[in-house]
Amino acid sequence: MRVDAYENRLRLLTACRDLIAQEGTTAVTVKEIIGHAGLSSATFFRHFGSKDAVIDEVSINRWSLLEFHARRPLDDEDDNQASLKQIIRILDLFTRMITSDDEFINATGLRIGQSPGAILPIRETFEPNFANLWVDAQRRGNIRSWAHPRDAIDMTASIRDKDRRLPMLTTLVSGLCTDVIDAEQLIYDLFSAGKNRLPLR
């Protein structure tokens, strides 16, 4: 996809997300989404066939970003905590998505642990890649043997308070990690001064 086409697609998704959050799914029209994005009808229908399609794509786009980071190579294979650090970065990204999209999520009726049909294919692609990271972190002795990656995702999705986001994530990660990991210090080292965060598009 050309850069301008990609940017236009993101502008439509952002407009849809913002309007749905403000007005709800029923009140918002395709014409409003187009106007809010500052684009033409032709551009909209080049990317999406309907209002429902663009609403679904907001969540699909988010999950696509998580999936991309779950399958990308680790930054440093020799770092014993490399897979754990990537897991934490993905969970941090997910919490920022959830807190950023909270009003949109409420307006569309999305529920924790229940993915609409449109989201299932990308979530099903994400999960085995995330599980591979998870198993590697367990093999390295960083995550408890009984901890399950799907539970981690579902619990992370319950973090909706922007002000308490990072402390809540730290509490969650602390419970998942083995005693050899100082989760609080690791998260501080990862994210102090905003460094190492995965970009939220």
Q: What pLDDT digit, counting tens, does each position of 155-168 carry?
A: 999 999 999 999 99
In terms of domains, do 70 and 141 share one? yes
In terms of domains, do 81 and 21 share one? no
Cβ neighbours for 100, distance < 8 A, ≥ 6 positions apart: 200
Residue listed under structure tokens 């229940």:
114
pLDDT of residue 113: 57
Chain segment 13-52, per-residue pLDDT in tens: 999 999 999 999 999 999 999 999 999 999 999 999 999 9
Query: What's phi and psi for 50, nearest 5 deg?
Result: -165, 175
In terms of domains, do 61 and 39 share one? no
In terms of domains, do 8 and 101 share one? no
User: How confident is residue 62, by pLDDT bands cut at 50, 70 and 90?
Assistant: very high
Do the beta carbons of residue 173 and residue 114 sit within 8 Å?
no
Do the beta carbons of residue 96 and residue 166 sit within 8 Å?
no
Q: What is the CATH number of the domain that holds 36?
A: 1.10.10.60
pLDDT of residue 197: 84
User: How confident is residue 72, by pLDDT bands cut at 50, 70 and 90?
Assistant: very high
Cα 84 from Cα 93, distance rounded (Å): 14
Chain segment 90-106, per-residue pLDDT in tens: 999 999 999 999 899 88
In terms of domains, do 113 and 160 share one? yes
Residue 199 lies in a domain: no
Do the beta carbons of residue 173 and residue 183 sit within 8 Å?
yes
Tell me if residue 191 falls in helix, strand or coil: helix
In terms of domains, do 23 and 71 share one? no
pLDDT of residue 164: 95
User: How confident is residue 110, by pLDDT bands cut at 50, 70 and 90?
Assistant: confident
Percent of the chain with pLDDT over 70: 94
Residue 155 lies in a domain: yes
Percent of the chain with pLDDT over 90: 80
In terms of domains, do 32 and 127 share one? no
User: How confident is residue 109, by pLDDT bands cut at 50, 70 and 90?
Assistant: confident
In terms of domains, do 167 and 134 share one? yes
pLDDT of residue 1: 56
